[in-house]
A and B are shown apart, each in its own frame.
Chain A
């Protein structure tokens, strides 16, 4: 043990003589939502680069990790939080559980796509970029004669009915960003309309991000709305899956942050620096990880077909994502999604199926009255219980945070919204059924 520490000290002295201000020694504890396949290569590379340090990985899902850090803050034993979803870091930052730091790494641009890589206040740092898109199982698609999707809207087509999976944004930070991207890209009303049209084709709304790629991998579901690296690593593992970035999407960074009162602050800082260094960035290219480095120089070493958000024109066109807007209404959007879609999926699918049938019949023989009824039905489905302004208003958000200004309790709002959707979906179903009678 003493020898171990001595060795670490000596290594530290050597390191000090190089460019590093402080050398890492001992155990660096990181809590992460990343899989072993992601963390192991980093652990190996980091421990090789800093022989005096060991990386202790605690694996928890993002929510559990946040809860854990929160619950144990009185006697914190964690150095680093390492996860995808930026909003988890926002929560930690908001509670003062992250420590500010200024990394020295160079060659990293301010933005990837239109998203700032680092937290402006320096509480957490992007280390890899991820884009959201559509993943599908080729065997499944062939057996069910599904065309290759390209845009979100494609998934609303009748052919995809009952073939699409998504994770609930309330439980998956990455899906939340996808939903928020669509809402910001298309606007509140139109965005929700798109989302509900997609949702009418959902096979399921899963409760963990990874369940979606898992279901697509095993062929239980044909198409999944996922974060890119899930698809890339599945491809690398040999699964018959494909992936596409739709044009309305965004790339956002996956992040790392130093936990306040980190027991091994020096080690934590060293790991952040390592992650942002070219050596660390190159680890991202490993087949089991396959995430997009945020150092553009590293792409030289990437395989030929590797997406490059800094060069690829698609990424440059991507919409500007406002983290502030997203942050202000996170709970509202997530709850709306659950109350209007997740918990009403059967009713929503029911009416969507009828509308698909109406469309098919109309394509054969037009009927203006039926067309009008179908439109009314679609408008009923698309109707939202509150506007974009209301969604961000203190009145509504207060119900979720327990603030004083709240208009109603969360449970009351939920019941209102659910009842709203239930009623509209039932009305839409009647209209759609009437339309179907006209064209039969």
Chain B
């Protein structure tokens, strides 16, 4: 589809750009569109006869439950964006606009909530915030009341905001870092300061990053099924799709109809965010000069700043704290804290599961790498070329966000299991297929980061390189990519770390224990009462792995920045 569109390109497109677009289009077609279509076409067929029909969509609109679910999903997604922004904004501003001790650590820790291993994460959240979790047991004991953190739609909003706010944090921070300090100083010079300055100058200039992050949060919350299910909220769209697709014996098109709706809404949300930013030239700096103005906080400001940061971090990291406790707990049941502590779970995990850890590192790194390469290519094609239909590449890639993992997993089996290698092994049985599935699932994250990064690089810098005799391809390699490093790294880290804990698609594709990633190991542990501790231990290891990688990459970005800055 995209390939065909690209072929009728404007004369401005070079042969290389066409080839690139065709390659990306083929990649998306083979590993996203085709497998999804293999499953989702059911939505357009009549049950039993298999004839084409649109009646299923009429049924969707006529069913109260689905309509209610739809609006609940919209409400929860929008509110999650609001609360996630409230959490992300102070962290992003404090760490990028001020000399703040431990800024790198904060940026890293602020990212960690995204890395919540499946299953164990849910248990840990319940143990902390559930009706009989630590907080409520203590509250009940001391004051005789409980707070319904995890009840109903508000519970979903609470958990989703904590979970997904890093999307806004990461993108917003990158944006803030790229605002020329003179922009802010000019405002100060004209009498603006404090909150007004942030509202009038910093916020609008950081908009591309914020919108990128916010649209991710919206779509992600809209498509997330795990959290509502954990909180037993069923009247939302994604859980409804899951409940239907995962029931056996029911060849029911409605699950796929909901999947189609999810995909359409996600693409629409992305499209609207693109429209919102259209025509705004936010290439505010010529990088290499100017750069970031950081102020030092004094006295009480410093104290207040740290208090805010610590409060937010404690809140967003509380699930991980609970997870850690769980991983060293003997029994933790209806009590604020575990009964006793042990390291036995870690012993068991190291004895049984080191293979999972190694596999995860390999898969997630490869997936992240693929994502950054494809993401940069798409961002470049969309923002810097005039290929006809280039936007479709963007939208198609973003649609991956909305394809439920289960659907993609089944789609991969349908598409690639029939294809066999010479020795009879099905293609789908190779571990590289897991990597591809992960890469496709996480591509939207990396893509948004690459887009934001490229958007902020002044075109003049590229023109300068071309003027000095560099070809388009060499300009990209020598100028654009190095300048995008921060954004690319952010994209890689997001892809990598979320891929490391991805479950739904991989579970379907794991063909043998020796190829299984960590999330699969978690799943296996979390099927029994005995496995709770080891599961949590494995979860903590996953979180640590991702954190260390993230910390390292932040460190590299910061160092590069300090090296380039300073007057």
Contact = CB atoms under 8 A, between A and B. Distances in A.
A422 B511 CA distance: 44
Nearest to A232: B529
A396 B395 CA distance: 41
Contact of A418 (B46, B64, B526): B64
Interface stretch (A44-52, A214-222, A377-385): A214-222
A204 B249 contact: no
A338 B249 contact: no
Interface string A413-439: 011001100100000000000000000
Task: Please indicate which of the listed interface residues B332, B429, B520, B531 has the most CB atoms of chain A within 10 Å of its own CB.
Answer: B531
B508 A68 contact: yes
A409 B59 contact: yes
Interface stretch (B126-134, B266-274, B486-494, B540-548): B126-134
Given A57-B513, A411-B63, A63 B248 contact: yes
B64 A170 contact: no
A219 B334 contact: yes
Contacts of A204: 232
A207 B63 contact: no
A91 B59 contact: no
B426 A137 contact: no
Contact of A59 (B49, B62, B246, B520): B520
B524 A230 contact: no
B189 interface: no
A91 B428 CA distance: 24
A275 to B, nearest CB: 19
A62 B330 CA distance: 29
B56 interface: yes
A67 B530 contact: no
Given A58-B512, A205-B232, A411-B56, A35 B527 contact: yes
B529 A234 contact: yes
Contacts of B48: 398, 401-404, 406
A219 B530 contact: no
B531 A37 contact: yes
Contact of B527 (A34, A56, A399): A34
Contact of A215 (B59, B126, B511, B530): B126
B507 interface: yes
B333 A409 contact: no
B511 to A, nearest CB: 7
Given A35-B528, A74-B417, A402 B513 contact: no
A230 B529 contact: yes
B531 A143 contact: no
B471 interface: no
Contact of A74 (B47, B250, B410, B418): B418
Interface residues of B, number: 68
Contact of A77 (B239, B252, B429, B526): B429
B229 interface: yes
B529 to A, nearest CB: 4
A419 B417 contact: no
A217 B335 contact: no
Contacts of B352: 36
A69 B411 CA distance: 14
Contact of B333 (A66, A137, A398, A412): A137
Contact of B247 (A139, A171, A241, A402): A171
A239 B429 CA distance: 39
Contacts of A238: 330-331
A205 B231 CA distance: 10
Contacts of A207: 229, 239, 242-243
A241 B334 CA distance: 11
Contact of A210 (B132, B251, B526): B526
Interface string B319-334: 0000000000011111
B310 interface: no
Interface string A228-258: 0010011011111100000000000000000
B63 A139 contact: no
A143 B334 contact: yes
A415 B531 contact: no
A214 B249 contact: no
A346 to B, nearest CB: 8
B60 interface: yes
17 contacts: A35-B531, A36-B531, A56-B513, A71-B417, A72-B426, A91-B248, A168-B243, A206-B232, A218-B123, A219-B335, A230-B529, A234-B529, A342-B234, A398-B48, A409-B47, A412-B59, A415-B64
10 smallest beta-carbon distances between A and B, as pairs: A402-B48, A219-B334, A35-B527, A402-B47, A411-B59, A35-B528, A234-B529, A139-B334, A204-B232, A71-B413
Interface of A: 29, 33-38, 56-60, 62-64, 66-68, 71-72, 74-75, 77, 87-88, 91, 137, 139-140, 143, 168, 170-171, 204-207, 210, 213-215, 217-220, 230, 233-234, 236-241, 288, 330-331, 334, 338-339, 342-343, 398-404, 406, 409-412, 414-415, 418-419, 422
